Amino acid sequence: MANTLLVTGSSGLIGSEVCAHFAALGWTIHGVDNNQRAVFFGPQGDTRWNQQRLESTLPQFHHHELDIRDRAGVLALLREVKPAAIVHTAAQPSHDRAAAIPFDDFDTNAVGTLNLLEAARQACPESPFVHMSTNKVYGDAPNRIALTELDTRWDYAEPAYAHGIPETFTIDQSKHSLFGASKVAADVMVQEYGRYFDMPTCCLRGGCLTGPNHSGVELHGFLSYLVKCNLEGREYRVFGYKGKQVRDNIHSLDVARFIHAFISAPRRGEVYNLGGGKDNSCSILEAFKIAENFTGRAQQFTYVDQNRIGDHICYYSDLRKMRAHYPGWDITKSLEQTIREIVEAWQRREAHA
């Protein structure tokens, strides 16, 4: 059990970053993934390349081909491994896709999370359990905040939100998308296992989590997909809000670093808004300009005058609670540096294709 980490969704962006980060610290890693992203998004969502990268570069990495909806399989694995910590990143991650596959979405996001929590309670209740939640648990309630329209972005007009959205913001009585609703169910259950069973758990309500190992597609992976379109001269579709909708972007390495901080000093039933904060926020129009600076290519795009259901007009995370609880942690990768790394990663993949 000592220094053994179990990571679900280990072939995905955050899962693979967590695997590499902890492996570098000497941990033994057990990765759980069944390439379900390729089922949800088709061949362009395939993550086998990332699984193979982990297997070839991390000698202490062990892959388990397991679906988290397999309750008996999940329990058997946790009883066998008895990990010192669990990082749960596996999910159906697209709020657009969820409407077409509501049972797959809920069974993966909500029931799969419950399967893991109950297995952890039975096999290793003292092991920290980190759940990758989402800012979509707030639904479209952030859109009720008064906004100011600037030249290239929307921003909050209310001084109370100068630092972004805090963890105390309501998750109730708003439109979430089915994806957001299934993630709310998982989020609240992770909190409940922490409070009711006194287990060390936390929910990380991510903004745009990104980085060079993202298999970005149109329905999920905003910056990665945007850069890919730019490099391939492909048209990027902007859905509503004049392209001025704002997201905060956090590099997957800074996500892994916070997870390490939590596992080193866990709390019970905690919630954190894990994003890039205001400094790492950008609109789609602003992201185009930054990408163009690194690629030297003009971004091709079309505007669709219809926003996505439940989409945020402006969202960036208030990081003050995270910094207060874990003062040794902070953002280390700027937005520009992150986009540059994504550009270089897509260029390397094209060169090897």
Give me the pLDDT at residue 1, please: 60
With CA atoms as reference, report the closest residue to 230 among 95, 335, 344.
Answer: 344
The CA distance from 327 to 109, in Å, is 31
Instruction: Give pLDDT, residue 113.
Output: 98
Burial (CB count within 10 angstroms: exposed 0-12, middle 13-18, buried 19+), residue 328: exposed
Residue 345 makes CB contacts below 8 A (sequence gap 6+) with: 212, 213
91 half-sphere exposure, CB direction, 13 A CA radius: 28
Both structure tokens of 287: 């992201």
Secondary structure of residue 299 in the 3-state scheme: coil
| Enclosing H/E stretch for 47 | none
User: What is the rounded distance in angstroms from the CA atom of residue 345 to the CA atom of residue 351?
Assistant: 10
Predicted local confidence at residue 350, as pLDDT = 81
Q: Which two three-digit tokens encode residue 156?
A: 């909050």
Whole-angstrom distance, CA of residue 159 vs CA of residue 230: 36
Per-residue model confidence as pLDDT tens for the chain (353 residues) = 679 999 999 999 999 999 999 999 999 999 999 988 888 888 888 889 999 999 999 999 999 999 999 999 999 999 999 999 999 999 998 878 899 999 999 999 999 999 999 999 999 999 999 999 999 999 999 999 999 999 999 999 999 999 999 999 999 999 999 999 999 999 999 999 999 999 999 999 998 999 988 777 787 778 999 999 999 999 999 999 999 999 999 999 999 999 999 999 999 999 999 999 999 999 999 999 999 999 999 999 999 999 887 789 999 999 999 999 999 999 999 999 999 999 999 999 888 77
Two structure tokens written together for 211: 């980085």
What CATH number is given for 4-352 in this structure?
3.40.50.720
Q: How many angstroms separate the CA atoms of 115 and 118, rounded?
A: 5
Give the pLDDT score at 90. Answer: 97
Output the pLDDT for position 148: 98
Pair 313, 236: CB distance under 8 Å: no
pLDDT of the residue at 327: 98
